[in-house]
Amino acid sequence: MSAQFFSTVAEWKREAARENSEKYFFPFRDLGRVETGESCFVIGRKGTGKTAIAEHLEGQSGHDRFCEALSFKSFPFHLLYALKDDGYSSKSKYISLWKFVIYSSVCKMMAKNEAIDSTVRDLLQKKFPIEPKEQLRSVLASWITRSFGVQILGTGGTFSTSKAAPISNEGWHKELTALSEIVRAHLDDCQYLITFDALDDDYQEMLNADQRSFYLSLITSLFKAIDDVRNEINTNGRRLFPIAFLRDDIFDQLEDSDRNKWEDIILRLTWNRDSLQRMLAHRLSRAENSNGPILPFDEAWGLLFTNQLISPESDSPKLTMFFYLMQRTYNRPRDFIVYLARCAKVAAGKGLARVDSKHFLMCEPYYSEYFRQELQDELTPVVPDVIQVFAALSNMARASFTLEAYIDSVAKLSKSGAYDPKKSSFPPEKLMQILFLFNVVGNRTSRGRRIFKFADPDENLNLNQAITIHPGLWKSFNIN
């Protein structure tokens, strides 16, 4: 294979926001549910493609389809916590704020739409002038404070009069009614999408109980606001579709009486062998030829790898490289992208025609370190001492263990000063349950089957059965 192909694959990005979405986005089977508004909540683990979908939707704007992308990456959430509405219960006190954001977003899109009545459009362009893409913090402040002091097309509402004040809880409430009335009265039959992405960016701050309460109330209120707006506006051919993207472990912590009703409008991002192979065939084909046909999986995979088999363990049958890699991932696109990019980099550096089993396995330690860091970042808000927990798991130097063996490992490290019991967040029994929920550990049956939560969501950890570490962590835990 050409050096250019290897160099192209080696440049694949693990973050969708940095990737060439137009070239690499894989139009998976259920994408239409999001594009048509059938699903407005996209739920999935980190790395399953939420941001990739949001980026794709933003890139599909046209004369009859508008998209406003709101990314909360590095957003100072604490600025929103003060903007509550005491007319709602504690878990719903930010509904008015989110409705304000949604209606402001759609009004901004209406200001660009030539099909909207010119009188309405002129007014909206004054309130929401077309400007270069700004930081979300500046945008919200601008929406809340920019003003003209005029009645809004007979609705009785007025925009506030201050122009440069910081975000505050004064003024925007009275604009909410006016903005919603504009949308009700003048929204046409074009499609309007509003995406809410990177909502987990404040998750690291959830260690504090009060902060956690604010954050979960904010997210719950967003989901309720989206559902309310859909039901209020989408009649007579109107198509306003706010869409929220959220990690599944955060969604599972939301407590609200409407949660069961949301199941009908949720798209859960899950990947299996077939969908992963189609995704990889798409990406590898596009890396080889941006405008060429999408090759069958075996042919596309063969552009990068030989057909050599690998023995995962001494007593296990040999596997293809793809199935070996499936055992070391959470079946997420990001995991495969990281591994394949590393393999391509090695192939380019060594001048290989294709990656053989030897060089494929050489890439595993790099991948395993990535895998470990992903889990550390994800677990830190829940288990602050996760680094020393991982050290205790690594210290056992074996893939499967008992709870007593882990306790012994902690005791040995504590004696040497490498583990501080005072920093332990949970007793061992509770800790293992949490690690199971995050797929760090699973169970290994007497017949050798491994059970992990991501693959068997209805299973629970059995502490009386052998506990096993996910194979993706083995190399970083010095397990051979």
Kindly state whether residue 12 falls inside one of the protein's structural domains.
no
Compute the distance between CA of residue 366 and CA of residue 473 in angstroms, rounded to an integer. 11
Compute the distance between CA of residue 372 and CA of residue 392 in angstroms, rounded to an integer. 14
Digit-coded pLDDT (tens) for 229-240: 999 999 889 999
User: At 41, is the pLDDT very low, low, confident or very high (cuts 50, 70, 90)?
Assistant: very high
45 with 164, same domain: the answer is: yes
Kindly state whether residue 242 falls inside one of the protein's structural domains.
yes
Kindly state whether residue 13 falls inside one of the protein's structural domains.
no
Digit-coded pLDDT (tens) for 346-360: 999 999 999 999 999
User: At 392, is the pLDDT very low, low, confident or very high (cuts 50, 70, 90)?
Assistant: very high
pLDDT over 70 (residue 131)? no
Kindly state whether residue 173 falls inside one of the protein's structural domains.
yes
Tell me the backbone φ, ψ of residue 15, rounded to 5 degrees: -100, 125
Helix (H, G, I), strand (E, B) or coil at 204: helix
Per-residue burial over 227-254, b if 16 or more Cβ lie within 10 Å, else e, is bbbbeebeeeebbbbbbbbbbbbbbeeb
Compute the distance between CA of residue 423 and CA of residue 420 in angstroms, rounded to an integer. 6
User: At 74, is the pLDDT very low, low, confident or very high (cuts 50, 70, 90)?
Assistant: confident
215 with 293, same domain: the answer is: no
Kindly state whether residue 197 falls inside one of the protein's structural domains.
yes
DSSP one-letter code for 295: P
148 with 119, same domain: the answer is: yes
Please identify, among 247, 268, 289, the residue that sits at the C-terminal boundary of a domain.
268
111 with 174, same domain: the answer is: yes
Tally of domains within the chain: 3
Digit-coded pLDDT (tens) for 280-331: 999 999 999 999 999 999 999 999 999 999 987 767 789 999 999 999 999 9
Nearest alpha carbon to residue 406 among 380, 420, 398, 434 = 398
278 with 338, same domain: the answer is: yes
331 with 380, same domain: the answer is: no
Kindly state whether residue 181 falls inside one of the protein's structural domains.
yes
Kindly state whether residue 46 falls inside one of the protein's structural domains.
yes
Structural domain containing residue 442: 372-473
327 with 405, same domain: the answer is: no
Compute the distance between CA of residue 159 and CA of residue 147 in angstroms, rounded to an integer. 5
393 with 445, same domain: the answer is: yes
Residue tagged 């600025």 (tokens): 79
Q: What was the pLDDT predicted at 360?
A: 97
Of 166-180, 188-202, 209-223, 406-420, minimum mean pLDDT range: 166-180
Kindly state whether residue 10 falls inside one of the protein's structural domains.
no
183 with 312, same domain: the answer is: no
